[in-house]
Amino acid sequence: MTKLAIIGAMEEEIIPLLLKFTDVKENNFASNTYYECKLGNLDVVIAYSKIGKVFSTLTATTMIEKFGCDTLLFSGVAGGINPDLKIGDLIIANKLTQHDLDITAFGHPHGYVPGGGVFVHTDEKLKNVALEVANENNIKLIEGIIATGDQFVANEQRKNFILNTFNADALEMEGASVAVVCDALNVPCLILRAISDTADMDAGFNFDEFLEDSAKKSADFLIKVVNKLNK
Ligand code: ADE
């Protein structure tokens, strides 16, 4: 690893990360701000993409193709589906899917388009480093399936569809698009999320209440992973 990309979707998701760095240089590109900083000898670029699959695709691609990042970590919040995931708990994706990608009219499964796959996998080594960090620090971290779509899910019906169709443990709005970019460009990636709500009718209210806290939990854990990678 020579240059590390760290992405969140929202400002709240990267502020706790930026606070860990001194000497941050701002670089504006493609209607966004990229924060360049250093951790020891390691170059780090941090940005929030804005919400959704399109903006996160743009940011991940920019991090890799323009800034030359060769490892990508995503930190943020998610809606929990797996009942073992309570608000504030952490999940790391072993694979991700786009739950709103739908050409089922042509006989294809949900999440599939020709040339792609229903699921995209994340990097095994990075995932194992995260699991080690959790173990060493006695932090609960669930490994599972994350479903991504351009929808804030706040109803049981959609949540159950995503559970039953993909066996997903959590859902959010950027992870799969970032993982698809990394997979295509051969850049190892890790997608980490802390639960802010459980994608039910209270999700909007809970999201507003727990966004900051859960974003910080994810960021604090991610920094532990970065420190371990940088040893
Ligand atoms: N991110 C956090 N909670 C979410 C939800 N309920 N739906 C989509 N993305 C989310």
Q: Would you say the CB of residue 85 lies under 6 angstroms from ligand 1? A: no
Q: What is the C-alpha separation between 170 and 37, in angstroms, rounded? A: 31
pLDDT digits (tens, 9 = 90+) for 18-41: 999 989 999 999 999 999 999 988
Question: Cβ(162) to ligand 1 under 6 A?
Answer: no
The CATH number, out of the four listed (3.40.630.10, 3.40.50.1580, 3.40.190.10, 3.40.640.10), of the domain defined by the range 3-229: 3.40.50.1580
Going from the Cα of 93 to the center of ligand 1, the distance in angstroms, rounded, reads 15
CB 91 within 8 A of CB 143: yes
**Catalytic residue, candidates 12, 13, 89, 174:** 13
Dist. CA 172 → ligand 1 center (Å): 5
Q: What is the pLDDT of residue 5?
A: 98
> How far away, in angstroms, is 18 Cα from ligand 1 center?
23
Residue type, 177: S
pLDDT at 67: 98
Stretches where the chain sits below pLDDT 70 are: none
Please state whether the predicted TM-score (pTM) of the whole model is above 0.85: yes
Is there an atom of ligand 1 within 6 Å of 147 CB? no
* Mutation to probe ligand 1, out of 81, 91, 171 (largest number of atoms < 8 A from CB): 171
Which atom of ligand 1 is least distant from the CA of 149?
8
Ligand 1, atom 2, lies closest to the CA of 78
Quick one: CA dihedral 175, 177, 178, 179, positive or negative?
Answer: positive
As given in the structure block, the two tokens for residue 59 are 């940011």
**pLDDT score at 1:** 74
Q: What is the pLDDT of residue 231?
A: 85
